[in-house]
Structure 1
């Protein structure tokens, strides 16, 4: 599943989910790199 995570206040990464961490972060893979960050929530108007 494709998900977007935030790595900092201004940096986001979108990739395939490869796992979760106990503190609520997601691990996503982009090419050969894995990033860990908080998932972006969808705001509804």
Structure 2
């Protein structure tokens, strides 16, 4: 599953989900690197 996470206030990464951590963060893989961050919520359209 493809997910977007935030690494800081301005940096986002999109990749394949590898794991979900107990503190709410998820791990995504981009090429050969793993990144850990909080998932970005879905956009709301009204």
* Distance in 2, Cα, partners of 1:2 & 1:20: 13
Superposition RMSD on alpha carbons, in Å?
0.7
Unaligned runs of 5+ in 1: none
Distance 1:35 1:43 in 2: 22
Q: What is the aligned length?
A: 45
Normalising by structure 2, we get a TM-score of 0.92
User: Deviating runs (4+, > 2 A) in structure 1?
Assistant: none
Superposed CA deviations along residues 3-39 of structure 1, whole A, max 9, x for unmatched, are 0000000000000000011100000000000000000
SS at match of 1:42: coil
